[in-house]
Amino acid sequence: MEWETVIGLEVHAQLATKTKIFSGASTQFGAEPNTQACAIDLGLPGVLPVLNKEVVEMAVKFGLGANAEIAPKSVFARKNYFYPDLPKGYQISQYELPIVGKGYLDVLLDNNETKRINITRAHLEEDAGKSLHEDFHGLSGIDLNRAGTPLLEIVSEPDMRSAKEAIAYLKTLHALVRYLEICDGNMQEGSFRCDANVSVRPKGSDKYGTRTELKNINSFRFIERAINYEVERQIQVLESGGSIKQETRLYDPDKNETRTMRSKEEANDYRYFPDPDLLPLIMDTNWIKQIKEKLPELPQQKRDRFISQYQLSAYDANILVSSKELAAYYENVVKASGEQAKLSANWVISELLGVLNKSNLDILESPITSQQLGKLISRIADDTISGKIAKTIFEALWNKEGEVDEIIEKRGLKQVSDTGAIEKMIDEIIAANPQQVADYRAGKEKLFGYFVGQAMKVSGGKLNPQQLNELLKKKLQG
């Protein structure tokens, strides 16, 4: 039997405010445990929460960026449950009336097709504290610093059909919240966390299968692996006559497997009710308009602009707009290269991103500036150096050995374009390889590459390939 995968994602984006959603306590990451939770975050008797306006503004920005409806009225509700890291006994969240309604993101897939992934809703809520299980010798520690930190929970429709599609959607969402500057996107620190809901069904069926939920996985790679593992597990269970239980499962990256964490709670277990301490949130349409006017160019618009302005493929453009900083870097390279847009895209994507990733560096930490890379590309374009030599210079730039023209000069890397000099070199190669010349002339045309290789070796790669090809052909014809 053929199976189809169905995935819906819930993403918790921590909103990048300085203070908490209902109190003035700091949200700074990494403080000493329990130094940043105030009486409101702890829900001590008699305190009153006050909604942080910036949190609302960020949710609105998200709604606008995700082509979504902003609810004219939304309501905060108490979600009641007991957990040691939730001293109040309830979490303030939104339930029936979330601030952001239906929206969508258009996601570019590997096959270069765009797929629309629908967003069900996005609602505001406060985060809970953290239980710490390490270093306490059989006990657990509780750190409440995170209690009351603002979260936007973004829920997608079950529209994704493979782990790859899920990752493409997540990356699109990740880029969006960072462009909007509403979330720093740091997955290690838990600022952007994902729960993946996964089910399978017989191909062609129009009914969804029972889903399991994979909790809080903190990297794109692990999410992809966890989903793939879970899909295989479910198929095996079903094919051996079993059934899937709706439950929450934990992914273990060390063993690359998912394990039961708890059976799924139902919404009615939480006894949601409107928080009596908080008024309904009524949106001012003028304010929404003002926020909309100040939105920056968003990833999708930038991608479309890169495709038309620089004639890039959708694939390349998508990579380059994955962060604002990378996009800005690329545009500076293009300028410094004398508008060599395509060549610049190749160098940024294949060369620069390659080494940055290997060294675990961000584009802002690149040892090679956009000015330098642009200059290097301009020297390829004006035939001062070949693409091959450019790679040597690229390495030198990476090692901070100086500026492009300096390195070319110092190392004598300028391309030889003097026809006479090249012809002389070819004559010598022909004289030194009589057998190959005879074979070539007898029809073994593949040997042409051999002569090119010889010439490049003798010249140290400093020949213009096109010029070399022409002269070599002429000479070999005899």
Q: Which residues contact ligand ADP (rule: CB under 6 A)? A: 6-10, 155-158, 197-199, 208-209, 211, 213
| Footprint (CB under 5 A) of Mg ion, residues 4-33 | 10
Residue 184 binding target from Mg ion, ligand ADP, none, CB below 5 to 8 Å by type: none
Shortest spacing between CB 160 and ligand ADP, in angstroms: 9
Residue 172 binding target from Mg ion, ligand ADP, none, CB below 5 to 8 Å by type: none
Q: How far is CA 277 from CA 52, 77, 78, in A?
A: 14, 10, 10
Shortest spacing between CB 21 and Mg ion, in angstroms: 20
Residue number with CB closer to ligand ADP (83 or 208) = 208
Residue number with CB closer to Mg ion (10 or 304) = 10
Does an H or E element contain 199, and which? Answer: strand 192-202
Shortest spacing between CB 198 and ligand ADP, in angstroms: 6
Two structure tokens written together for 223: 């999410």
Shortest spacing between CB 247 and ligand ADP, in angstroms: 11
Shortest spacing between CB 154 and ligand ADP, in angstroms: 9
Residue number with CB closer to Mg ion (10 or 403) = 10
Residue 211 binding target from Mg ion, ligand ADP, none, CB below 5 to 8 Å by type: ligand ADP
Tell me, by CB under 5 A, how many residues bind Mg ion: 1
**Whole-angstrom Cα distance, residue 355 to residue 349?**
10
Residue number with CB closer to ligand ADP (6 or 333) = 6
Q: Please enumerate in sequence order all residues whose Cβ is within 8 A of that of 277, keeping only pairs 6 or more positions apart, or say none.
A: 48, 49
Where would I find the beta strands (DSSP E) of 114-191?
A: 114-126, 130-132, 141-143, 150-156
Shortest spacing between CB 212 and ligand ADP, in angstroms: 9
Q: Are 199 and 6 in contact (CB under 8 A)?
A: yes
Residue 155 binding target from Mg ion, ligand ADP, none, CB below 5 to 8 Å by type: ligand ADP
The three-class DSSP label of residue 203 is: coil
2: buried, middle or exposed (CB in 10 Å: 19+, 13-18, 0-12)?
exposed
**Whole-angstrom Cα distance, residue 432 to residue 425?**
11
- Vertex 328, ends 169 and 171: CA angle to 5°? 10
Q: Which residue has the tokens 């991608």?
A: 303
Residue 156 binding target from ligand ADP, Mg ion, none, CB below 5 to 8 Å by type: ligand ADP
Interacting residue ranges for Mg ion, rule: CB under 5 A: 10
